[in-house]
């Protein structure tokens, strides 16, 4: 009968570089028992009493068994772990661990130890190993299956394992730990995506018209607005033959360009702009917002592109459909705040390729000293001048950095509003679904 699902727990630290004090604390039991054994033998040699010799022998046997038995227990055992290759942030995943006894004697009280880097990642911690569970009894030649439920705490691409076995049974005097499964799997955890009902998106020319979306000034439906002379490259379908016959030269119909919403997400990947730690840092929240906005846009038939300037350039051109969203998710699962270039350069590069009416989403995490203008506003002004619609996500620096609230206004928010941008202010711990669906 299989045991109930276990929950992964964190063991005591077992990393390298442990000091003398920590070593003594871990081995205090065998050290005390060894001291008692030596004392008993010293007393027996001086008193010449059989009972003292029996006590000393019993203590010595206990010490030997307590130190040797855990190593025997983990011998002749094999273990393997299986589980999903993909998960979503915050989801509980189930790992399955199989332990098989290849020996001729049963084994008891075996701990399952694994390396799961995503455990503790939500708090910004790195855990060397995780205790997946414990197998109380494995008969000779038998197999035990242990299901383990673990929370996928934080997005990322993680290398798992190898999984091993450990035992302190029966006296807890020593721990034997051996790696039995040298295979290492990977787990991709995608950012959490929350629902968005609507976004203030406007139109971009030369795309399909969708009447339910707000269009930029001057963008309308595909209507006839006049005639002009034919130019090389014009479509022959637009030639107006009656007018061409009357004027004895080719004339084409000029149409008002169609328009629809298009979305460009520009992440700030500079490490100094990432405030806070773990899953609630400003960069992690920005990734979740970007993934959610991308899903909303793609579900509504809008082209989406993703841009970032980290250690590895992030450049996903505009596209649509499920495959495109999966490509965006794959990129957002591993993107990091590891860039060396300022955010303003990424915005300036987007400005050189922006389509008039396209909505550019910018993320602002940085602290700004009083009296100093944020440099990103210059690049945003260039985007606005080229016809882009600005949607800015401003992370409250005091809430994410854990500092006292500053007096006076925020120059970034004020500058964004002067440029006509729609600003969404995010504070640490905000319910993003409620914030973006007022």
The pLDDT value recorded for residue 204 is: 56
Segment 70-97 mean pLDDT: 92
**What's the order of all strands across the beta sheet hosting 143-151?**
6-7, 143-151, 92-101, 77-82
Token readout for 37 is 């054994």
Q: Phi first, then psi: give them for residue 260, nearest 5 degrees.
A: -160, 165
Query: What is the 3-class SS of 307-358, one letter each residue?
Result: EEECCCEEEEEEECCHHHHHHHHHHHHHCCCCCCCCHHHHHHHHHHHCCCCC
Which SS3 state, helix, strand or coil, does residue 381 take?
helix
Mean pLDDT value across the chain: 84
Band (pLDDT 50/70/90 cuts) for residue 86 is: very high
State yes or no: pLDDT of 98 exceeds 50. yes
What distances in angstroms separate CA 281 from CA 66, 116, 137, one per listed residue? 46, 21, 44
The pLDDT value recorded for residue 220 is: 42
Q: Where are the domains of the chain?
A: 1-189, 223-256, 261-435
Which residues are within 8 A (CB) of 225 and not within 5 positions of it... i.e. 6 or more apart?
254, 255, 256
CA dist 130 and 11 (Å) reads: 6
The pLDDT value recorded for residue 8 is: 55
The pLDDT value recorded for residue 332 is: 97
Q: What tens digit of pLDDT does each residue of 249-285 get?
A: 888 887 655 555 789 999 999 998 888 999 999 999 9
Band (pLDDT 50/70/90 cuts) for residue 368 is: low
Task: Please give the model's pTM, rounded to 2 decimal places.
Answer: 0.78
Q: What tens digit of pLDDT does each residue of 23-34 get?
A: 666 778 888 888
The pLDDT value recorded for residue 125 is: 86
CB 30 within 8 A of CB 172: no
Percentage of the chain with pLDDT > 90? 46
Q: What tens digit of pLDDT does each residue of 186-196 get?
A: 999 999 999 99
CB 259 within 8 A of CB 357: yes
The pLDDT value recorded for residue 153 is: 94
The pLDDT value recorded for residue 129 is: 86
Asked whether the domain spanning 261-435 has the same topology as the one spanning 1-189, the reply is no
CA dist 138 and 228 (Å) reads: 87
Q: What tens digit of pLDDT does each residue of 236-252 get?
A: 888 888 888 888 888 88
The interaxial angle of helices 376-385 and 411-418, nearest 10 deg, is 10
CB 407 within 8 A of CB 372: no
Q: What tens digit of pLDDT does each residue of 388-422 get?
A: 999 999 999 889 887 766 666 778 888 889 999 99
Q: Which residue has the higher pLDDT, 303 or 233?
A: 303
Segment 328-352 mean pLDDT: 94
The pLDDT value recorded for residue 13 is: 43
Band (pLDDT 50/70/90 cuts) for residue 182 is: low
Band (pLDDT 50/70/90 cuts) for residue 372 is: very low
CA dist 67 and 69 (Å) reads: 6
Q: What tens digit of pLDDT does each residue of 144-153 get?
A: 999 999 999 9
Burial of 238 (0-12, 13-18, 19+ CB in 10 A): middle
CB 16 within 8 A of CB 129: no
The pLDDT value recorded for residue 166 is: 92
CATH of span 1-189: 2.60.40.10
Nearest to 202 by CA among 192, 182, 220, 216: 216
State yes or no: pLDDT of 3 exceeds 90. no
The pLDDT value recorded for residue 331 is: 97
* Assigned architecture for domain 261-435: 3-Layer(aba) Sandwich (3.40)
């Amino acid at each position: 009968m299989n045991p109930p699902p276990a929950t992964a727990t964190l063991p005591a630290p077992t990393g390298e570089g442990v000091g003398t004090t920590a070593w003594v604390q871990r081995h205090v039991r065998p050290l005390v028992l060894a001291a008692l054994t030596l004392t008993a033998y010293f007393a027996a040699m001086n008193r010449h009493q059989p009972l003292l010799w029996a006590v000393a022998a019993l203590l010595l046997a206990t010490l030997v068994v307590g130190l040797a038995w855990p190593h025997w227990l983990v011998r002749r055992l094999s273990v393997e772990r299986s589980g999903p290759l993909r998960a979503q942030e915050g989801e509980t995943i189930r790992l399955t661990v199989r332990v098989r006894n290849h020996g001729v004697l049963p084994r008891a009280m075996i701990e399952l130890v694994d390396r799961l880097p995503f455990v503790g990642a939500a708090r910004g911690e790195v855990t060397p190993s995780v205790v997946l569970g414990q197998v109380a009894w494995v008969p000779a030649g038998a197999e035990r299956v242990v299901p383990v439920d673990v929370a996928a705490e934080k997005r990322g691409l993680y290398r798992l394992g190898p999984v091993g076995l450990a035992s302190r049974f029966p006296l807890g005097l020593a721990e034997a730990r051996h790696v039995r499964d040298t295979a290492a799997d990977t787990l991709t955890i995608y950012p959490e995506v929350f629902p968005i009902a609507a976004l203030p998106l406007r139109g971009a020319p030369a795309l399909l018209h969708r009447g339910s979306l707000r269009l930029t000034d001057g963008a309308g439906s595909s209507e006839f607005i006049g005639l002009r002379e034919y130019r090389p490259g014009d479509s022959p379908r637009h030639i107006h033959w009656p007018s061409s016959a009357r004027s004895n030269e080719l004339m084409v119909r000029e149409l008002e360009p169609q328009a629809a919403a298009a979305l460009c997400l520009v992440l700030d990947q500079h490490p100094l702009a990432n405030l806070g730690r773990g899953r609630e840092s400003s960069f992690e929240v920005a990734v979740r917002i970007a993934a959610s906005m991308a899903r909303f846009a793609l579900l509504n038939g809008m082209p989406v592109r993703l841009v970032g300037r980290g250690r590895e350039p992030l450049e996903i051109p505009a596209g649509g459909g499920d495959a495109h969203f999966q490509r965006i998710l794959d990129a957002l699962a591993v993107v990091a705040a590891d860039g060396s270039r300022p955010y303003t350069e990424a915005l300036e590069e987007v400005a050189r390729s922006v389509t008039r009416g396209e909505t550019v989403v910018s993320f602002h995490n940085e602290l700004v000293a009083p009296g100093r203008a944020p440099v990103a506003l210059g690049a945003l002004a260039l985007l606005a001048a080229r016809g882009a619609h600005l949607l800015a996500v401003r992370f409250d620096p005091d809430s994410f950095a854990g500092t006292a609230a500053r007096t006076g206004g925020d120059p970034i928010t004020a500058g964004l509003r002067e440029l006509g941008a729609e600003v969404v202010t995010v504070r640490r711990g905000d319910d993003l679904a409620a914030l973006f669906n007022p």
